[in-house]
Amino acid sequence: MEKYDLRVADIFSSIDGEVNGWGQGRFTTFLRLAGCNLKCKYCDTADTQKYDSHKHETLTVFTVIDRIKRYHCRNITITGGEPLLQITPLAELCKILCEDKKLFSFGRPARINIETNGTIFPSGAERLTETDLIRFTVDYKIGENFHPLWYKYLTEKDFLKIVICDKDDFFKADKFLSMYEETLYNDNRQMIPVALSIRMNEGPNDLSGAVEVMTTWARADNPNSSLIFLSDLSKWSLNFQIHKLINLK
């Protein structure tokens, strides 16, 4: 494997059905990388957790770019797996996509959303924060260690997303957000957007029921609630996977 090779699980076109700094629901080209440092029980791409030479590909940065160009879309979401495990070729890929205005026929560079679990911040990741053409969606997992450098580099143009599987996760998320609330504001007192991503295992399975349950938990006048951060409904939003609701990849 060469320095600028990427371990790729898939490259495809769909809509980005989750919250991100460029807008939920946009037509997007996805680059799904293989390999992750976590093994989440609810992972919906478990086959990407470990690189498998029989199912996945090792591609040069330039081969990846050629495949991305086929979809004629400047919105690109890089996900996994955990993309930052491949920081060297990832940074090179992003550099070319952001700087070369001739890659797409409409003469504009790519707009990139990088999804990461927030547990690592490898050397070189700071380079990815230096352009306004890259946004981050940090998909924090309850109970995992959150790398403190993300507080320094995330902005109001990024997203902090927390996966909620049940009521216990909801209250753990509140504890985490309340503890670090001051670090969620940048120097201009603008807050990093926070979204709760629904993976409900208890209560109603339908989405409207999930919304009702979660807002009941969060209501400030709920006598059984000990919430701090999440009791202010203006500080966070709900994230639903739109692409799955309409049966897209």
CB 142 within 8 A of CB 162: yes
User: How does residue 223 score in pLDDT terms, banded at 50, 70 and 90?
Assistant: low
In this prediction, residue 44 carries a pLDDT of 83
In this prediction, residue 127 carries a pLDDT of 94
Buried b or exposed e, range 23-62, using 16+ CB within 10 angstroms: ebeeebbbbbbbbbeeebeeeeeeebbebeeeebbebebe
Q: What is the mean pLDDT of the chain?
A: 88
In this prediction, residue 220 carries a pLDDT of 58
User: How does residue 202 score in pLDDT terms, banded at 50, 70 and 90?
Assistant: very low
Query: What are the chain's domains?
Result: 5-245 (3.20.20.70)
In this prediction, residue 215 carries a pLDDT of 74
In this prediction, residue 102 carries a pLDDT of 85
The fraction of the chain above a pLDDT of 90, given in percent, is 60
pLDDT, tens digit (0-9, with 9 covering 90-100), for 41-91: 888 889 999 999 999 999 999 999 999 999 999 999 999 999 999 999 999
> In the block, which residue shows the tokens 């990427």?
6
CA dihedral 96, 101, 107, 110 (to 10 degrees): 40
CB 89 within 8 A of CB 6: yes
pLDDT, tens digit (0-9, with 9 covering 90-100), for 136-162: 999 998 889 999 999 889 999 999 999
In this prediction, residue 13 carries a pLDDT of 96
